[in-house]
Structure 1
Amino acid sequence: MKNLTLHTPEGVRDIYNSEYERRLDTLYNLRKCFKKYNYAPISTPTFEYFDTFSREVGSCESNEMFKFFDRDGNTLVLRPDITPSIARAAAMYFSDTDGAVKLSYEGNVFINYHSLQGRLKESTQAGCEFIGDSSVDADAEILTIVVNALKESGLKEFEIGVGHYDIVRGLIDAANLSEDMEEKLVGLISNKNFFGAKELLESAGVSKSLIELFDLTGKILNSPSEWKPYMDKAKKYKKVYDALEYLTKLYDLLNKNKVMDFISFELGMISEYKYYTGIIFTGYSYGVGEPLVKGGRYDSLLSLFGKDSPAIGFAITVDQLMLALERQ
């Protein structure tokens, strides 16, 4: 019989010697970058009440959380995501603050992935949350920090794909599909099966001009000049048009900040996090299958904790960043 005392559970591992030293160096470089942009550090508990990450929050499926009980019978979970914890803390400690609040963090998250996925169930994240500012300038600042933090960590080749929640959502709303067909369409777009998506839209009798606008979801674009030909068609669909206009302003700011060499626009991007409301983004590097960074705008999340305030943030997965640096 296997002696379990000499083994770690599936999905977690020991980190020691030079790898642990490199991890400390990576976290130091990230922390230094966050501080440069005046983000104050905050630490939240490793476990919280289940309601902090419930279905309404939309952070993680219930069956993917590690749950246990305290002595009073309350359901607790190891945090699967740090952003809702920061939102809760901001609502507690900055409830009377009208101005912007800038917070940075680092810590471990725990997701009970299915064993066949072969993914780590414990990983380290570091990130920033910009609370109290709904402007495009705040979005540009966060994306600029992401690019500079990865660069200052020593990463040379990476790409941040930026999308907008209202593009896919606006197109799907305009298509007026049944609930079942809508679910299938979201799945097809998520899996980048754009031929299948077009076929489904045609079979549902969606207008030709709207189907042509759905072409946006299958493209990776570098500047507003590439989505300009779609703007006339988009005028009929306010949500989509406004999102494209917003991304145009965002591009101008990112270009001014000299970070566009690392950014592209993926207009069909969909996130598994249900709390996102505006721009969403994901970062990848060569030779690393999992995202290095995820982030987006979440203007409704803090209201679930009693503070009505817009916010945007990101989390860098340190394990994936270190793998990218090693393979570089």
Structure 2
Amino acid sequence: MQREIHTPEGMRDVYGSECRKKKMLLGRLSSVFHTFGYEDIETPVIEYFDVFSREVGTIPSRELYKFFDRNGDTLALRPDFTPSIARAVSMYFHDTRTPIRLCCQGKTFINRSSYQGRLDESTQLGAECLGDGSAAADAEQIALGVQALQAAGLKEFQFSIGEINYFKALVDEAGLDEEKELALRKRISHKNHFGVEELLDTCELPQKLREAFRVFPQLFGGREILARAKSMTDNPAALASVARLEEIYEVLKLYGVEQYVSFDLSMLSKYRYYTGIIFQGFTYGVGEPIVKGGRYDHLLEHFGTAMPAVGFALVMEDLLNALDRQNIDVRLPDRKHIIVYDRERLADALALAAEKRAEGIHCSCIERNMQVSVTEYEEIAKKNGADISFKNRRKYGNREKQISDICPGERTACKVHPGDV
């Protein structure tokens, strides 16, 4: 089979009802963001490589799609929106004195070393609040994420909240070098208890600090985990990070979303630009978080602007998979109609189509192929969740026929008109 008709590894085509559901959900969730005062922004899919360099703290260079322009500059496809938004804000909003709320949507690309069922190309919907370093801004992001998932139709999901500064404070106190910090970060994130024990055996640490690292992978659960985290250390910076989480939780209670929240101090993101709270949203049916976010107060400094910021991204493919596997219908509001006509009836078909479109109905006209039966056309309409009319030379009476709506389990009566209508 010809290679040209296939997509590259890690990419796929999206069409039909899946594409319609995806676009509809993007519009619905964007509307939720707008109700919180977030304004749309678009940034290029292609950026200079330096926007996503190691110094910025994004993914490793080997996971970027890189290429050269005609001037020899290295370019990259964006792996996530946050550095691009930080660059744009530094350029256009650097003198703004009030918080900036922006939302964006589009494709992101990660050149994964192993496929493992994950696509290299994904569609993300993101929200960023810049210029506000408060706990209230952190809580707003989580509450916005909760309301977005509710608007999508999910009922069972959970947001896990961590705080990178708790880990950093203990690492600084221990005096670990970068290599050991990275190794410890990875093992704690994977909740690898034995790996943590093995690494600690190579370090000279006070007993209390050693014990804190040893139980780090167990620091997840309800609000009681925060009390346990405070009991493990006297480090002022670590205690301040826990106090921040407690403050965020109190604001989340004001939003009425605390039931969707748990804590996980062992959650340590691979994105090194995070400086405080980090959070992820999980649900059934997908093995990866469908929402990822956190605070990145120093990222904009790489682009010449000092400004605190917090944001998150929602991965649309994972959200759609979760909805499908949880058997949650995505209601598509549009109505569809197909008109099958004989050539002599083109004028009548176009007149009827104009009426349907004026009513907001998606209407398409098909010149009749005499090799295709009426029943086959009706099946085509049924498959596409559409009503159907016929404009033929021969005249028949009208009849009612049940055609399945595009949403499973719901049926709608539609008139099939094989003749004048």
TM-score surpassing 0.5? Answer: yes
Report 1:42-57 matches (<5 A). 42-57=41-56
Counterpart of 1:64 in structure 2 is 63
Is the Cα–Cα contact under 8 Å of residues 30 and 149 in structure 1 kept in the other structure?
A: yes
Secondary structure in structure 1 of the residue aligned to 2:26: helix
From the superposition, tell whether residues 98 and 174 of structure 1 become closer, same or farther in structure 2 (CA, over 3 Å): same
Which AA in structure 2 matches 1:219? Answer: L
Is the Cα–Cα contact under 8 Å of residues 42 and 105 in structure 1 kept in the other structure?
A: yes
Counterpart of 1:263 in structure 2 is 261
2:287 to 281, 286, 289: 289
Report 1:176-325 matches (<5 A). 176-202=175-201, 204-214=203-213, 215-223=215-223, 225-235=224-234, 237-325=235-323
Q: CA deviation at 1:326?
A: 0.6
Superimposed CA distance per residue, residues 249-270 of structure 1 (whole angstroms, 9 cap, x where no aligned partner):
1111112211111111001111
Secondary structure in structure 1 of the residue aligned to 2:292: strand
Superimposed CA distance per residue, residues 70-114 of structure 1 (whole angstroms, 9 cap, x where no aligned partner):
111111111111111111111111111111100000000011112
Q: Supply the distance in 2 between the matched residues of 1:186 and 1:115 (Cα, whole angstroms).
A: 21
Counterpart of 1:122 in structure 2 is 121
Counterpart of 2:94 in structure 1 is 95
Is the Cα–Cα contact under 8 Å of residues 48 and 77 in structure 1 kept in the other structure?
A: yes
Larger mean Cα displacement after TM superposition, 310-319 or 172-181: 172-181
Secondary structure in structure 2 of the residue aligned to 1:283: strand
Which AA in structure 2 matches 1:108? Answer: K
Larger mean Cα displacement after TM superposition, 317-326 or 73-82: 73-82
Secondary structure in structure 1 of the residue aligned to 2:80: coil
Which AA in structure 2 matches 1:93? Answer: Y
Counterpart of 2:352 in structure 1 is none
Superimposed CA distance per residue, residues 2-48 of structure 1 (whole angstroms, 9 cap, x where no aligned partner):
41121111111110010001101110111010000010000111111
Aligned length: 325
Q: Supply the distance in 1 between the matched residues of 2:93 and 2:315 (Cα, whole angstroms).
A: 27
State the structure with more CA Rg. Answer: 2
Residue 23, structure 1, aligned to residue 22, structure 2? yes
Q: Supply the distance in 1 between the matched residues of 2:123 and 2:236 (Cα, whole angstroms).
A: 39
Counterpart of 1:327 in structure 2 is 325
Identity value in percent: 46
Is the Cα–Cα contact under 8 Å of residues 292 and 312 in structure 2 kept in the other structure?
A: yes
Is the Cα–Cα contact under 8 Å of residues 167 and 268 in structure 1 kept in the other structure?
A: no
Secondary structure in structure 2 of the residue aligned to 1:143: helix
Q: Supply the distance in 2 between the matched residues of 1:118 and 1:284 (Cα, whole angstroms).
A: 18
Q: CA deviation at 1:230?
A: 4.4
Counterpart of 1:35 in structure 2 is 34
Q: Supply the distance in 2 between the matched residues of 1:217 and 1:246 (Cα, whole angstroms).
A: 20
Secondary structure in structure 1 of the residue aligned to 2:279: strand
Counterpart of 2:5 in structure 1 is 6
Secondary structure in structure 2 of the residue aligned to 1:52: helix
From the superposition, tell whether residues 180 and 113 of structure 1 become closer, same or farther in structure 2 (CA, over 3 Å): closer
Is the Cα–Cα contact under 8 Å of residues 162 and 264 in structure 1 kept in the other structure?
A: yes
From the superposition, tell whether residues 65 and 179 of structure 1 become closer, same or farther in structure 2 (CA, over 3 Å): closer
From the superposition, tell whether residues 5 and 151 of structure 1 become closer, same or farther in structure 2 (CA, over 3 Å): same
Superimposed CA distance per residue, residues 275-308 of structure 1 (whole angstroms, 9 cap, x where no aligned partner):
0000011111112012201100000011111111
Secondary structure in structure 1 of the residue aligned to 2:273: coil
Residue 82, structure 1, aligned to residue 97, structure 2? no
Counterpart of 1:170 in structure 2 is 169
Q: Supply the distance in 1 between the matched residues of 2:2 and 2:229 (Cα, whole angstroms).
A: 62
Secondary structure in structure 2 of the residue aligned to 1:246: helix
Is the Cα–Cα contact under 8 Å of residues 168 and 269 in structure 1 kept in the other structure?
A: no
Q: CA deviation at 1:233?
A: 4.3
From the superposition, tell whether residues 137 and 179 of structure 1 become closer, same or farther in structure 2 (CA, over 3 Å): closer
Superimposed CA distance per residue, residues 132-179 of structure 1 (whole angstroms, 9 cap, x where no aligned partner):
000001001011001110111111111111100111111222223455
Which AA in structure 2 matches 1:306? Answer: G
Q: CA deviation at 1:222?
A: 1.3
Q: Supply the distance in 1 between the matched residues of 2:159 and 2:105 (Cα, whole angstroms).
A: 21
Relative to its length, the structure with more helix (as a share) is 1
Which AA in structure 1 matches 2:107? Answer: N
From the superposition, tell whether residues 99 and 54 of structure 1 become closer, same or farther in structure 2 (CA, over 3 Å): same
Gaps spanning 5+ residues in structure 1: where? none
Is the Cα–Cα contact under 8 Å of residues 284 and 291 in structure 1 kept in the other structure?
A: yes
